[in-house]
Amino acid sequence: MNGDIKEDIRSLSLTDLEKFFADQNEKTFRANQVYEWFWKKSCRSINDMTNLSKPVRKILEDHFSFPVLHIEKEYISRDRTVKSTFRLHDRLMIEGVLIPDGNRTTACISSQVGCQLGCTFCATGLFGFKRNLAFTEIFDQVVELTNQSLHHFNVPLSNIVLMGMGEPLLNYEEVKRAILMITSEDGLGMSPQRITLSTVGIPNMIRKLADDHLRIHLAISLHTADNVKRSIIVPLNKKYPLEELRDALKYYHEKTGKRFTLEYLMFANMNDSLSDAHNLAEFCKSFPVKINLIGYNQVPDLDFKRPESGKIIAFKEFLEKKNMIVNIRKSRGEDIEAACGQLALKDRNQREG
Ligand code: SF4
């Protein structure tokens, strides 16, 4: 504990909990019970731990806090996509999206409150950066969206994409800890292959991700294979140009043997020509990839436009002639501003907490 501020009980490892109970002259098997309540049973308060006696729960309450996030608002799209705003313990807000597709549902979750990278097409970038999320806050989004999936669609969550607000590789340790709890048999037990981490591409962190063997899927928000254009839309490209990103991706592929996805948002008259497609094919020569082409979703206050569908199809056909795997991804939840690049918390009071 630090002064009057109680420590978040879920930041304790199993060993920490055992030590705590031993210090309190309580049976150390209580630690396993508590741990199971946190991660397997996704409990929301110390009071929910009904197999602990009231005095034991009181000891925990006296020593620890148990911050959880809450769904503040839900918006449901014409295409059944559900966008939720989550209120955090410090009153800040983030957004998450649940995307139904047949009998599967995908949760798009956030890793930071806002984002410091300022990609010029992105609503989250406009919103600025407030703070990193704790691993518990990343975990809790999955718990809430799983409940939503059961409630709205009567199916458990099938997939998770870290594609919401923030750059996950700039909050790597918390993201990794959350993924470990989501995939652990002691936690939600989800297969890592059903989790995708999406990044604009931070070379040293891509190498670290490869070294850590998390076995999740990697997606790179590339958007163009031209350094001049990319530095305009993804300012981080000035620090880590495409050559450095390509080397890190080569390393990732060599180390993991995995194919990854390149996300390519298409902007009219910016990155949608056949010469842009040629640059992309050249960039991909050193590794196997899957390309997702996504027509840009309009963001109020930003000038970018979506290309006509004929241009997107011509781009796809050009790449397919080079034997590349290319999908045109349909945007979901555009009418509720839940689509890629649109998450930004519409109301001023939501942004400021
Ligand atoms: S696109 Fe991703 S990395 Fe870029 S500003 Fe938006 S949230 Fe951040």
For the chain of 353 residues, list the mean pLDDT of each consecutive stretch of 10: 76 96 95 96 95 96 96 93 95 94 94 93 83 97 96 96 95 97 96 96 97 96 97 96 98 95 95 98 96 87 88 98 94 68 56 45
Ligand 1 geometric centre to CA of 133 (Å): 15
Verify that 49 and 198 share a domain, yes or no: no
Verify that 216 and 194 share a domain, yes or no: yes
Verify that 307 and 346 share a domain, yes or no: yes
Verify that 280 and 315 share a domain, yes or no: yes
Which amino acid is residue 213, in one-letter code? H
Instruction: Name the domain boundary from 43, 65, 87.
Output: 65
Ligand 1 geometric centre to CA of 111 (Å): 11
Ligand 1 contact, 167 CB (< 6 A): yes
For the chain, the 3-state helix, strand and coil shares in percent, each to the nearest 5, are 40, 20, 35
Verify that 285 and 324 share a domain, yes or no: yes
pLDDT score for 349: 44
Instruction: Please give the Cα distance from 287 to 285 (Å, whole number).
Output: 6
pLDDT score for 352: 45
How many folded domains does the chain comprise? 2
Structure tokens at 112: 């930071």
Instruction: Please give the Cα distance from 276 to 283 (Å, whole number).
Output: 11
Q: Which long-range contacts (CB under 8 A, 24 or more apart) does 188-191 make?
A: 188/39, 188/40, 188/42, 188/142, 188/143, 188/146, 190/157, 190/160
Instruction: Find the helix or strand (DSSP H, E) in which 59 lies.
Output: helix 54-63
pLDDT score for 1: 46
Instruction: Name the domain boundary from 65, 99, 114.
Output: 65
> CATH number, domain at 28?
1.10.150.530
Ligand 1 contact, 123 CB (< 6 A): no
Verify that 269 and 139 share a domain, yes or no: yes
Note whether residue 347 is domain-resident: yes
Note whether residue 2 is domain-resident: no
Verify that 142 and 34 share a domain, yes or no: no
Instruction: Please give the Cα distance from 349 to 353 (Å, whole number).
Output: 6
| 340 is annotated as an active-site residue | yes
Instruction: Name the domain boundary from 65, 83, 100.
Output: 65
Note whether residue 1 is domain-resident: no
pLDDT score for 341: 62
Verify that 335 and 259 share a domain, yes or no: yes
Note whether residue 181 is domain-resident: yes
Instruction: Please give the Cα distance from 156 to 284 (Å, whole number).
Output: 35
Ligand 1 contact, 115 CB (< 6 A): yes
Q: What is the largest CA-CA distance in the chain?
A: 71
Instruction: Please give the Cα distance from 216 to 57 (Å, whole number).
Output: 36
- Of 18, 95, 144, 167, the active-site residue reads 95
pLDDT score for 212: 96
Note whether residue 343 is domain-resident: yes
Verify that 193 and 52 share a domain, yes or no: no
Instruction: Please give the Cα distance from 125 to 117 (Å, whole number).
Output: 6
- The runs of H, that is alpha helices, within 287-335 are 309-320
| 18 is annotated as an active-site residue | no
> CATH number, domain at 308?
3.20.20.70
Residue 283's domain spans which residues? 70-352
Ligand 1 contact, 118 CB (< 6 A): yes
Q: Of all protein residues, whose CA lies closest to atom 4 belonging to ligand 1?
A: 119
Instruction: Please give the Cα distance from 252 to 204 (Å, whole number).
Output: 10
Q: Of all protein residues, whose CA lies closest to atom 3 belonging to ligand 1?
A: 167
Q: Of ligand 1's atoms, which has the minimum distance to the CA of residue 115?
A: 8
- Nearby residues of 42 by Cβ (< 8 Å), 6 or more positions away: 143, 188
Verify that 216 and 236 share a domain, yes or no: yes
Verify that 84 and 97 share a domain, yes or no: yes
Instruction: Please give the Cα distance from 57 to 60 (Å, whole number).
Output: 5
Instruction: Please give the Cα distance from 346 to 93 (Å, whole number).
Output: 11
First to last CA, the chain: 26
Ligand 1 contact, 119 CB (< 6 A): yes
Contact criterion met (CB below 8 Å) for 271 and 222: no
Ligand 1 contact, 117 CB (< 6 A): yes
Verify that 36 and 115 share a domain, yes or no: no
Contact criterion met (CB below 8 Å) for 260 and 217: yes
